[in-house]
């Protein structure tokens, strides 16, 4: 799937490594910095949604900010899939 113009300008900050549907949480392997309050776009072959980062956690510990190479859990409203890319917009 080719990137839209807005995605080319957006900064890749991570990749979804797992989705927990019962609690609607995405595990994201960070490739950049992500903060609570950031607006992101999650894009994949079957996924395209925008979210606002409302919470970040590592091992049930809340964070305000996380940086690469950490893997964080993030509450999401939409279903996401492994391999989906996370862009800062």
Q: Report the distance separating Cα 3 and Cα 37, nearest Å.
A: 24
Number of domains observed in the structure of the chain: 1
Residue 1: pLDDT band (50, 70, 90) is very low
What mean pLDDT is predicted for residues 52-62? 95
Q: What is the pTM of this model?
A: 0.88
> Cβ–Cβ contacts within 10 Å for residue 33, how many?
15
Q: Which residue has the higher pLDDT, 6 or 31?
A: 31
Which pLDDT score is estimated for 10?
Answer: 84
Q: Which domain, by its residues, includes 73?
A: 5-88
CATH number, position 33: 2.40.30.10
């Amino acid at each position: 799937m080719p990137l839209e113009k807005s995605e080319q300008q957006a900064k890749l900050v991570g990749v979804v490594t797992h989705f927990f549907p019962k609690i609607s949480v995405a595990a994201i392997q960070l490739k950049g910095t992500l903060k609570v309050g950031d607006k992101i776009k999650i894009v994949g072959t079957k996924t395209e949604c925008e979210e606002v980062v409302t919470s970040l956690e590592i091992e049930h510990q809340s964070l305000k900010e996380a940086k690469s190479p950490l893997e964080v859990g993030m509450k999401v409203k939409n279903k996401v899939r492994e391999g989906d890319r996370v862009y800062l917009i």
